[in-house]
A and B are shown apart, each in its own frame.
Chain A
Amino acid sequence: MDVKTPQDTLTIDPIAMNVVNRVAAGSQLSGDLSFEGGLLVQGEIAGNIRVNGRLIVWTGGVVRGRIRVSGDTYLFGRLGAAGASAHDTSLECQGMAYVSKTGVATGTLMARRLQLYEGADLQGPFKTLKKGDNLPVLHDVLPDPP
Chain B
Amino acid sequence: MKADRYLHPDRHLEQDMDSHPLQPGEEAFASEPQAADACDGSGPNPSMEVDVGNAMPPTQPAHMPVLHPQVQSVMPIDGTDGGQARSMLAEGLHFVGHAELRGPCSIAGTFEGNLTQAPGALVSVVVTETGRVKGDITAQKIAVMGRTDGILDSGPGEVSLHDTASVHGLVRYGRIQVNGADLNATLERVAPSVSAR
Contacts and interface: CB of A to CB of B under 8 A. Distances in A.
A84 B80 CA distance: 36
B175 A118 contact: yes
A101 B43 CA distance: 23
A1 B140 CA distance: 11
B81 to A, nearest CB: 9
Contact of A114 (B50, B57, B183): B183
B188 interface: yes
A134 interface: no
B87 interface: no
Contact of A14 (B43, B158, B181): B43
A125 B178 contact: no
Interface residues of A, number: 49
Interface string A81-113: 000001000000000101011100000000001
Interface stretch (B6-14, B99-107, B145-153): B6-14
Contacts of A117: 52-55, 177
Nearest to B26: A15
Contacts, number: 156
Contacts of B134: none
A14 B45 contact: yes
A122 B189 contact: yes
Interface string A22-38: 10000000000000110
A17 interface: yes
A38 to B, nearest CB: 9
Contact of A15 (B42, B53, B178, B188): B42
Interface of A: 1-20, 22, 36-37, 40, 58, 74, 76, 86, 96, 98, 100-102, 113-128
8 cross-chain pairs, A with B, having the tightest CB-CB distances, nearest first: A101-B53, A117-B53, A100-B52, A14-B43, A116-B178, A1-B79, A8-B55, A3-B76
23 contacts: A1-B79, A3-B57, A5-B57, A10-B49, A10-B50, A15-B16, A15-B43, A16-B3, A16-B29, A22-B44, A58-B45, A76-B50, A86-B186, A100-B51, A101-B54, A102-B52, A115-B178, A117-B55, A118-B177, A122-B189, A123-B188, A124-B186, A125-B185
Given A16-B32, A101-B51, 20 more contacts: A1-B79, A2-B76, A7-B51, A7-B52, A8-B53, A11-B35, A12-B50, A13-B35, A13-B43, A14-B44, A18-B12, A19-B43, A20-B15, A22-B44, A100-B51, A114-B181, A115-B55, A118-B176, A125-B187, A126-B187
